Amino acid sequence: MTRSSAIVVGVGAEVGLGAALCKRFAREGYHVYVSGRSATKLGQVVESIVAAGGSAEAVVGDTTVEADVLALFDKAMAPAAGIAQPDLVVYNAGNNRRIPFAELTADEFESFWRVGPLGAFLVGREVARRIAPLGRGTLIFTGASASLRGKAGYAQFSASKAGVRMISQSMAREFGPQGLHVAHVVVDGGIDGERLHRARPAVVAERGENGLLNIDAIADTYWYLHQQHPSAWTQEVDVRPFKEPF
């Protein structure tokens, strides 16, 4: 029996969205290529998946480095026996922090740009080159409320996320008719994961029950997008806690 496969780019802490996506796809029987910069964190995610009976392997790489992205797709497109070439790819890389505009340096702005549209372009291009010609598959980009609007102190993040959104729209219009489903998920609100718990515990306490986005619930939305019938594809969907103003 051949096992389907997926690539998730931008996996960090085990209690985070990237890891939740990997675990969700693995539960559906997928072999998951778990990609990110930290070998230690990737190893923890893979161990957790394997311990639960799933299949996964870590691929260490920086999505802003073209050679690393090419190596990731080289591996995934020439899989081991019993594993199919990927039909599901998620670009989940991102960085976010508040920087007053007058204090923002060119290097800081560029670092956001590299993780945002540059990395999205590199991954999207390889999907276009290698998976779209197969006439099937799903490519999902993780967005944020910053994809739609710029807030004070977040010009660098909004510019980055808006760029990713435009890549998703352009790819959807170009490759959708070829059978590749390209979607963008606007994650609007705090994510109930390790990063926020560690950095802003007061915010976590203030939001209360279901006041933050549950990572497994977000992952369900990504899987739903992948399962959509081609006669009713969604290009963009937003997810937010019921308490979140918008």
**pLDDT for position 51:** 98
Instruction: Identify whether 97 is part of a domain.
Output: yes
82 in a domain, yes or no? Answer: yes
Residue 219 is which amino acid? Answer: A
Within-domain flag for 245: no
In a domain, 25, yes or no: yes
Q: Is residue 246 part of a domain?
A: no
pLDDT at residue 190 in the model: 84
User: How high is the pLDDT of residue 195?
Assistant: 77
Distances in Å between the Cα of 85 and the Cα atoms of 3, 91, 169, 189 are 9, 17, 24, 34
State pLDDT tens for residues 32-63: 999 999 999 999 999 999 999 999 999 999 99
Task: Please state the domain count of the chain.
Answer: 1
Domain containing residue 184: CATH number: 3.40.50.720
* Number of CB atoms found within 10 A of residue 198's CB: 11
* Side chain identity, residue 236: E
Q: Are 76 and 86 in contact (CB under 8 A)?
A: yes
What's the pLDDT score for residue 192?
82
**Spans in the chain with pLDDT lower than 50:** none
Distance CA(19)–CA(25), nearest Å, equals 10
Domain extent, residue 179, equals: 5-239
Q: What is the pLDDT of residue 206?
A: 75
The residues, ordered by sequence, that sit 6+ positions from 210 with a Cβ below 8 Å of its Cβ are: 241, 242, 243
| Predicted pLDDT of residue 11 | 97
